[in-house]
Homo-oligomer: A and B are copies of this chain.
Amino acid sequence: MGSDATDQPRRSRRERPAKPALSRDGIVATAVGIMRSEGLAKVTMRRLAQELDTGPASLYVYVANTAELHAAILDELLEPLRAEDGGDWRERLEGLLTSYTTTLFAHPGLARAALVIQPSGAHYLRLVESLLALLDEGGIPPAQAAWGVDLLLQYTTATAAEQATRDQSADTQAVWDSLTDTLHGTSDRTHPHIADLATRLVSGTAEQRMSWGIATLINGIRATPVPTGDAPDRRDRV
């Protein structure tokens, strides 16, 4: 009983489980799959089309371009993100931002895409909502929270983008060594401050830096009022 062509009269089966109809959701889901197994760099229109057993042109019926596709992938990855229940608002805020960063870390290259596209998917909005709720709980004035949430997300996204890229490249250690050497070798006369702080400039683990960075941002956001007056919209729209 090696064959199973019983109730499906004619149609090439096996290999592919009956080519499913194309849909935006199906395309995004397949894209996520490729990214998880091979990284974002492999998620190209051509490769994706191949996976879906069609030509690249077909995808443009559902996705405007590669950037939009990457935005959709990102939002999909944010699905499991949720703030913890117990604890101090600061701890929960740091926890939520850390899981956001961890998510981006796990998928090198997506963080860079996130910096370049303006995410606006459902899961991203939920993340923003959670962050605003925590800042509110911490008594941060609304205007500062509104601008601050941008700062917090930008910081974590940019950090993930940097870190992810560096981990990816094979010669990270070499680059690092040469930077350390450059800093320590800097002349005391031309660059006194760098020479003085050489060790401190590169001290700390990524986790320590991130934790300090988030605390620094929160302290800054709390302490810095936004300019008063009816500030115009960023696009000068009324």
Contacts and interface: CB of A to CB of B under 8 A. Distances in A.
Interface of A: 112, 115-118, 120, 125-126, 128-129, 132-133, 136, 142-143, 145-151, 154-155, 157-159, 161-162, 165-166, 173, 175-176, 178-180, 182, 186, 190-194, 196-197, 200-206, 208-209, 211-213, 215-221, 223-224, 226-227, 231-237
Contacts of A217: 216-217, 220
Contacts of A145: 197
> What is the interface of chain A mostly: helix, strand, loop, or mixed?
helix
A147 B204 contact: yes
A49 to B, nearest CB: 23
Contact of A155 (B117, B126, B155): B155
Given A115-B161, A205-B234, A220-B220, 15 more contacts: A112-B115, A115-B162, A118-B162, A118-B175, A120-B179, A125-B182, A125-B186, A125-B194, A128-B194, A146-B201, A151-B216, A204-B234, A212-B226, A216-B220, A218-B220
A210 to B, nearest CB: 11
Contact of A227 (B180, B196, B204): B204
A205 B208 CA distance: 33
20 contacts: A115-B158, A118-B162, A118-B175, A118-B179, A125-B194, A129-B190, A132-B197, A146-B200, A154-B159, A154-B162, A176-B234, A202-B233, A204-B227, A205-B231, A208-B227, A212-B226, A216-B220, A217-B220, A218-B220, A223-B223
